[in-house]
Each structure stands twice: as C-alpha cells, then as structure tokens.
Amino acid sequence: MTRLADPSTARFKALYDANFQAVLGYALRRVDQPADAADVVSETFLVAWRRLDDAPAGDYRPWLFGIARNVLLNQHRSTRRRARLGERLRAFLGGADVPDPAAGVAEQDRVRRALATLSAADRELLTLIAWDDLTPSEAAEVLGIAAGTARMRLARARERFARALGDAAPGAGHVRGVPHHFATEEGR
C-alpha cells in the first residue's frame, strides 16, 4: 500500500507489467540459451528501475530495448555470468518449452540464411522492425540514431535482404542439404 502510494514505484510496476513480455521476447530472440534471456530481462529492468527518471513519456519499449541492447552487448563481451537477480526466472526458462529458433521449416530456413548473409547492423535494424514490431523511428531510438538515418538504412538493408532472399532460390520446393550458393557480393 505504501508502495502504490509512491508514484515512481507505481509507474515502474505499470512499465514492468506492460513490457515484460516484449523485453523477454527481445532477449529470447537474441540469446543462444533461453535461460540466458533471464539475465538480460532482469538486468534490463533493474537498470530501468534505477534510471526511471530518465524514462521517456509514452511507449517505453524503445527505451527498454535500448537498455536491453546494451546489456546484451556487455554480456557478449564476456561469458562470465552474473547471477544476482532473476535466478528463478533463469531456472524457469531453462526448463520451459521455448520454441527452438533453429527448428524451422524450409521457408524459415531460407529467410534465416538470407539474414545471416547481411551485416550485423542490417540484421539488427531489420529484426527490430520485423520481429520486435517497432516502427523505423522506434528502432532508431533503440539504436541511438536519427529517425531519418534509420529509414535510409532500412531501405538499403531491405534491398540487400531481398537480393539475398532471391539468391537463396525460393519456390524451389524442399531445400536439400546445403544450398550451393548463398554468399552474396556483400560477403558475410
């Protein structure tokens, strides 16, 4: 009751409840082991709680994804695992029936192979929009770039992605074995 009376705690609770799933999804799509997403989610919300005064008004997702992105970057730099918070969530996700991103049908397989040929920057921008459901300006906020820049980069990334998809020979029925050509002129 005391807690609810405090405006910042109430604001954080609302933010947490409304965005937990989005942040979890963002994290799960970008880690190798589902359990690792627990670290990203707990760290992201912990930082958000501490920096609540910096939170923009309106939709919190771009701001939270921006934090999560930094958390992921830091996490990738080292394999050391921090287990301060979210231990229970970690255990839970470790045993949960999380869809395995690697188990795809042929179409998914093709799309992901095409995606893999793009640069990390292209991939990040495209997936923020297609998978995490952000608008280009929201994605710009996550990446810390201007909205106009994001739109320009998106157009180019889409071109490259479409070309990679074309190269991956859609519509040929089953993909058998290793495709003989999916390296584009962009390189990997």
Binding site for another protein (CB under 8 A): 1-3, 5-9, 12-13, 16-17, 20-21, 24-25, 28-29, 41-43, 45-47, 49-54, 70, 74, 78, 80-93, 96, 98-99, 101, 104, 107-108, 111-112, 115, 126-127, 129-131, 133, 158-159, 161-162, 165
In whole angstroms, how close is the CB of 174 to another protein at the nearest point? 17
Helix ranges, 29-60 (H): 34-50
Closest separation in Å from C-beta 187 to another protein? 20
Whose tokens are 């707990």? That residue is 42
Pick between residue 122 and residue 141 the one whose CB is nearest to another protein.
122
State the nearest-atom distance from the C-beta of 2 to another protein, in Å: 5
Instruction: Using the minimum distance from each CB to another protein, give the nearer residue, 99 or 187.
Output: 99
- Exposure string of 16-31, with b = 16+ CB inside 10 Å and e = fewer, is eeebeebbbebbbebb
Instruction: State the nearest-atom distance from the C-beta of 1 to another protein, in Å.
Output: 8
Provide the residue type at 151 as one letter.
R
Between vectors from CA 173 to CA 171 and to CA 175, what angle results, nearest 5°? 105
Nearest-angstrom CA–CA distance, 141 and 138: 5
Smaller CB separation from another protein, 98 or 175:
98
- C-alpha to C-alpha distance for 79 and 34, rounded to whole angstroms: 15
> 35 vs 143, which CB is nearer to another protein?
35
Compute the least distance from the CB of residue 66 to another protein, in Å.
13
Calpha distance 53→45 (Å, rounded) = 13
Q: Cα(64)–Cα(87) distance, rounded to whole angstroms?
A: 21
Output 146 or 159, the one with its CB closest to another protein. Answer: 159
Encoded amino acid at 113, one letter: R
